[in-house]
Chains A and B, each alone.
Chain A
Amino acid sequence: MWARALRVRFPVPLDRGRGFASKAGPQGKVQEVRQGTHSPRLASQGAGRVPAAKIEHLERLALVDFGSREAVARLEKAIAFADQLHALDTDGVEPLESLLEDRCVYLRSDNVAEGNCTEELLRNSHHVVEEYFVPLPGNVSLPDMVNKTPSPTAE
């Protein structure tokens, strides 16, 4: 039964150019797969550059360094990719925060059931004094460091 040649159910799309753009989709090419590495061309919005101040702001918030011009370019592509959402009308649609929103989710009762594992928890830290994790002075903010010390080399 399986080996029998069966009639082809789907029409054969011979020409990639015609594509299968869904009627509900925006104009222009939506899926990145159709364009390879290039950012999708959008009807009206251009793939803008992210201003330097914003880059610094993100690095500060994330405490993660971009490290290179390529990384910034990748962010710009990611933003352009995400911009496609704006073509979709979501008026009157509630944001979906949890798949379990229609259910009652259960929390544990507020009773001590386990614990006393201080040693195990401290064991994984590199710098511990007695039963304390040891950070460094927290009153020196990062931008000052950017000026004073050389930035860590990217991997």
Chain B
Amino acid sequence: MLGRTLREVSAALKQGQVTPTELCKKCLSIIKKTKYLNAYITVSEEVALKQAEESEKRHKQGQPLGDLDGIPVAVKDNFSTSGIETTCASNMLKGYIPPYNATVVQKLLDQGALLMGKTNLDEFAMGSGSTDGVFGPVKNPWSYSKQYRERQRHDEHGDSHWLITGGSSGGSAAAVAAYTCFAALGSDTGGSTRNPAAHCGLVGFKPSYGLVSRHGLIPLVNSMDVPGIFTRCVDDTAVVLGVLAGHDPKDSTTVQDPIKLPMILGEMDVSRLCIGIPKEYLVPELSSEIRSLWSQAADLFESEGAKVIEVSLPHTCYSIVCYHVLCTSEVASNMARFDGLQYGHRSGIDVSTEAMYAATRQEGFSDVVRGRILSGNFFLLKENYENYFVKAQKVRRLIVRDFMNAFDSGVDVLLTPTTLSEAVPYLEFIKEDNRTRSAQDDIFTQAVNMAGLPAVSVPVALSNQGLPIGLQFIGRAFCDQQLLTVAKWFEKQVQFPTIQLQDLMDDGSLVLENGKLTSVSLT
């Protein structure tokens, strides 16, 4: 069951081949078995089982709510969930229990999805490794895969060389990659969904800005944040997107364009497609393996009749700098709400309000968060506002124009790498600080957030080390369905292999034949 697509499992549930409770229990047991991944901050076992019970009643009455009814999902811990602790992996919100559900969470629950738990992340979604949260780093399930381990030297079989998931939605990525759920929500501000998706061999989707509600997503950068979706195949992403997309009266930045539902991805005529390859994305730091796969992907489209052209996004080299200024500025503003008064951590200092605020923020925020707040405040100072913040906003317009020009020249979809390299070992990753790493790792992904375009990372192949590599497709604004259609075609061509997780194979949970998942024991 675990190896099937969402629609297949949904059909199986409707036909009574499996029950929501069996599915729920199986996922809960895998969560327990893979606890060492540290993917979850909170496992909402009781809630999930209760939801499973209700789903089962509905299925028995022949009245399932839809394709997500009875399906285990996970949610990144920066989405508010009513009655369930929401921490953003920060001391500031430890113990915080929201009184409401984020709109996207509510939509999933309204469709009968089972909430398995809240997943781990970098603190307040700031980071590109999922290593900087107060609950510890997330481990990439591929570190424990047969594909990776058999290519390592024997003396490296100890646990110290585990790999990062990428970030900041690493927990959600690990949760889906390790078969603990079928889909997970992440957030994407600069690549936080696409980056870990590429490192964990998953489909990581960033919708157009304005398509999916941000109400209840604890904000980082209001003009760039979007909820992201992790699944094991593109069709599943379309199912989830169909549930989540749409105007939300509680989020005035969602558009009111009508969306055709359900979102079913049809066949595509590749020969009518025009793929753009941005030449500025070919940087020396790009690993030769990814460069080669990128090239092969372009050739694949061309050999099927698509037009593949080189395009130029001339302001690319300024993009990460512009993102850095705008991001820290908006963060400084958004983090101002954490003062200990209405919610969250409150310092014991009792001398004055300001002293209490300062101490609360000192104790509640990590160095990374404090650093970004201070940088942001610097750029927002009166004397710096024009030269930094407004300047960055102008550069942002130039970057948006670059994309518009590329699409106006007839390009339907851009094809780029998602990351510079495959997932690296944690011990190597932490050699540089958070800001440096983010500047390096977000290089292909953040420009998309600045332009508000939809983008998706699709797993392509395994590297020489046996680790996943993904490529990114970028579409025109609000052409999410078309983008996913292209991604679906590509996914079918590349046939990315299933992860062979030793633990789950040893106890018979996952059964593979020729690298394909054939069955899963539910006992």
Listed in ascending order, the chain A residues whose CB lies under 8 Å from chain B are: 1-2, 6-10, 12-13, 16, 18-25, 30-34, 36-37, 50, 57-59, 61-67, 71, 74-75, 77-79, 81-82, 84-86, 88, 90, 93-100, 103, 105-108, 117, 120-121, 123-127, 133, 135-142, 145, 149, 152, 154-155
Contact = CB atoms under 8 A, between A and B. Distances in A.
B284 A152 contact: no
Interface of B: 96-97, 99, 209-210, 223, 247, 249-250, 252-253, 255-256, 277, 280, 282-285, 288, 291-292, 294-296, 298-300, 303, 314-318, 320-322, 324-325, 328, 332, 339-344, 346-347, 349-359, 361-363, 365-367, 370-371, 373-375, 377-379, 381, 387-388, 390-398, 400, 420, 432-433, 435-436, 439-440, 443, 451-452, 477, 493-495
B321 A82 contact: yes
A85 B374 contact: no
Sorted nearest first, the 6 A-B pairs with minimum C-beta distance are A95-B393, A120-B99, A140-B352, A99-B452, A124-B343, A96-B397
24 contacts: A1-B300, A9-B295, A22-B280, A24-B315, A31-B317, A32-B440, A33-B285, A33-B443, A61-B381, A62-B332, A62-B377, A63-B357, A64-B374, A71-B370, A74-B433, A77-B435, A85-B392, A88-B318, A106-B252, A136-B350, A139-B352, A145-B352, A145-B355, A155-B363
B472 to A, nearest CB: 16
Given A99-B223, A145-B354, A152-B349, 14 more contacts: A6-B300, A9-B277, A12-B288, A32-B440, A65-B362, A71-B367, A81-B439, A82-B379, A105-B252, A105-B253, A108-B250, A123-B97, A141-B354, A152-B347
Contacts of B433: 37, 74
Contacts of B392: 82, 85
A69 B372 CA distance: 16
Contacts of A97: 223, 393
Nearest to A104: B256
A34 B321 contact: no
Contact of A64 (B277, B299, B365, B388): B365
Nearest to B387: A86
A71 B374 contact: yes
A36 B280 CA distance: 20
A77 B421 CA distance: 25
A139 B282 CA distance: 57
Nearest to A79: B378
B363 A152 contact: yes
Contact of B253 (A57, A74, A79, A100): A100
A50 B377 CA distance: 13
